[in-house]
Amino acid sequence: MTLAEKILAAHANRPMVSPGEFLNVKLDLVLANDITAPLAIKEFARLGVGKVFDPRKVVMVPDHFCPNKDIPSAEQAKLMREFAREQGIVYFEVGKMGIEHVLLPEQGLVLPGDMVVGADSHTCTYGALGAFATGMGSTDIAVAMATGEIWVKVPPTIKFVYHGRLKKWVGGKDLILYTIGDIGVDGALYSVMEFCGEAIDSLPMDDRFTMANMAIEAGAKAGIFAVDSKTLKYVRSRAHRPFTIYRSDGDAEYVRVIEYDVSRIEPQVAFPHLPSNVKPVSIVGEVRIDQVVIGSCTNGRLGDLRLAAKVLKGRKVNDNVRCIVIPGTQQVYLDALREGLVEIFVRAGAVVSTPTCGPCLGGYMGVLAAGERCVSTTNRNFIGRMGSPQSEVYLVNPAVAAASAVLGRIASPTEIAY
């Protein structure tokens, strides 16, 4: 079996599973946020069960519109807060919270071998830890909170092998954008994307989270990495419970095996209006911009901020550009403050926000007007994603975002930093 199949089999109490089978699987964690939780809570009430299956395994995080931007978002957060207190579940209040998919791994709430579902499509982020994690709708999450189980169709697995050494300024964001550009936004539809190869082994955890996060942008059910020494170093200092490591068998069956030579990959730019509309940064031409966003559940971790600060240090954000930096959690914010990264951003003329999803979904803290262009380290650039349907979003890594903020156009960091 593949890594993903082994996790599903273990949680279904089955010795073996195959793609296409339907299973009932037990859950290690159920997640919802301030947008998706209210509907789940209302549906949960209709079930009439009273209590969640295990309050230690249900987590709610206000991160999309928090601190609340208006009365409707305040009402949503209030409903979630009251439910969390009533049920005694795991809840992170403003000031202790962060972007959910940065926060949960940081807090040791997701561990290798776990089966996780969340009412958010980017729940697949946790595959970086060797967990099977996937997004579901709010009504399904209500049932998951009540029963601790879901039914799932076993997906086939596509194996992605990345050979060679990465060029400077190229990281996990570029590998996943390049991959989506190659296979398309439905290239891994209802499949597991298993990432491996020597280039993957060299990636830090922050980059692995980025790649797993964007598996959904290729239509995948999950993205997953094998557990190695880097994974163990990350989780052992955070884990408060035992975990199980699963590995793909040598004779596991894959529906496809796709291989890449990463030495040929340069920083990537996803043009509007799809994550698959990818070009290498060297051929983007003269694309003037109005805003840069550095953050999100895709690239809001400390390693991402370090990369952006490396480019921005001693430089100024272009007078025609608004640069918004959003640490993924309070801990990331504190670490960035201690390292002097926040001072670099402020001196460069960027604004540093409290942790929030904010502009990624056109929520707040950077909504675009008609005709505006934004270079962003987020994960989606659909029409109207960050504001007006007449705006444009270009997806890049943090170094490209920082260089673009300085030059006022989409730019490679090699133009200003070495």
pLDDT at site 129: 98
Which two tokens mark 388? Answer: 């007006």
Q: Residue for token digits 């408060």?
A: 240
What is d(CA 192, CA 208) in angstroms, rounded to the nearest whole number? 15
82 and 219 together in one domain: yes
| Closest residue by Cα to residue 294 from 383, 358, 339 | 358
82 and 207 together in one domain: yes
Q: How far is CA 129 from the centre of its chain?
A: 13
Determine, yes or no, domain membership for 265.
no
68 and 164 together in one domain: yes
Determine, yes or no, domain membership for 148.
yes
| Closest residue by Cα to residue 246 from 130, 154, 127, 155 | 130
The CA–CA distances, whole Å, from 222 to 192, 196, 395, 403 equal 5, 14, 21, 32
166 and 314 together in one domain: no
235 and 367 together in one domain: no
In a 13 Å sphere around the CA of 190, the CA atoms on its Cβ side amount to: 6
- Asked which of 213, 233, 260 is the last residue of a domain, the reply is 260
Q: In terms of residue numbers, what domain contains 76?
A: 3-260
What is d(CA 321, CA 369) in angstroms, rounded to the nearest whole number? 14
Residue 151 predicted with pLDDT over 80:
yes
CATH assignment at residue 143: 3.30.499.10
290 and 330 together in one domain: yes
34 and 59 together in one domain: yes
| Closest residue by Cα to residue 373 from 392, 359, 354 | 392
146 and 51 together in one domain: yes
**What is the mean pLDDT of the segment spanning 276-302?**
97
Residue 61 predicted with pLDDT over 80:
yes
347 and 213 together in one domain: no
In this predicted model, what pLDDT tens digit does every residue of 154-177 receive, in sequence order? 999 999 999 999 999 999 999 999
Instruction: Report angle CA 395, 400, 406 to the nearest 5 degrees.
Output: 115
In this prediction, residue 66 has a pLDDT band, given cuts at 50, 70 and 90, of confident
- Asked which of 232, 260, 288 is the last residue of a domain, the reply is 260
Instruction: Report angle CA 150, 153, 154 to the nearest 5 degrees.
Output: 110
In this predicted model, what pLDDT tens digit does every residue of 378-390 receive, in sequence order? 999 999 999 999 9
**What is the mean pLDDT of the segment spanning 406-414?**
97
Query: What share of the chain has pLDDT > 70, as a percent?
Result: 100
Q: Decide the pairing of beta strands 278-280 and 222-225.
A: unpaired
- Asked which of 260, 278, 301 is the last residue of a domain, the reply is 260
In this prediction, residue 182 has a pLDDT band, given cuts at 50, 70 and 90, of very high
Give the chain's domain count: 2
| Closest residue by Cα to residue 399 from 301, 283, 306, 264 | 306
Instruction: Report angle CA 4, 239, 195 to the nearest 5 degrees.
Output: 30
336 and 391 together in one domain: yes
Which two tokens mark 272? Answer: 């509007």
Determine, yes or no, domain membership for 303.
yes
228 and 362 together in one domain: no
**What is the mean pLDDT of the segment spanning 305-327?**
97
What is d(CA 362, CA 388) in angstroms, rounded to the nearest whole number? 8
For helices 205-213 and 302-312, the axis angle rounded to 10 degrees is: 100
Determine, yes or no, domain membership for 360.
yes
114 and 240 together in one domain: yes
pLDDT at site 60: 97
Determine, yes or no, domain membership for 244.
yes
pLDDT at site 186: 94
Query: Quick check: helix, strand or coil at residue 29?
Result: strand
In this prediction, residue 281 has a pLDDT band, given cuts at 50, 70 and 90, of very high
pTM given for the model: 0.95
In this predicted model, what pLDDT tens digit does every residue of 220-230 receive, in sequence order? 999 999 999 99
DSSP string, 327-396: -SBHHHHHHHHHTTHHHHHHHHT-EEPPS--GGGGT-SSSPBPTT-EEEESSS---TTTTB-TT-EEEE-
Query: Quick check: helix, strand or coil at residue 161?
Result: strand
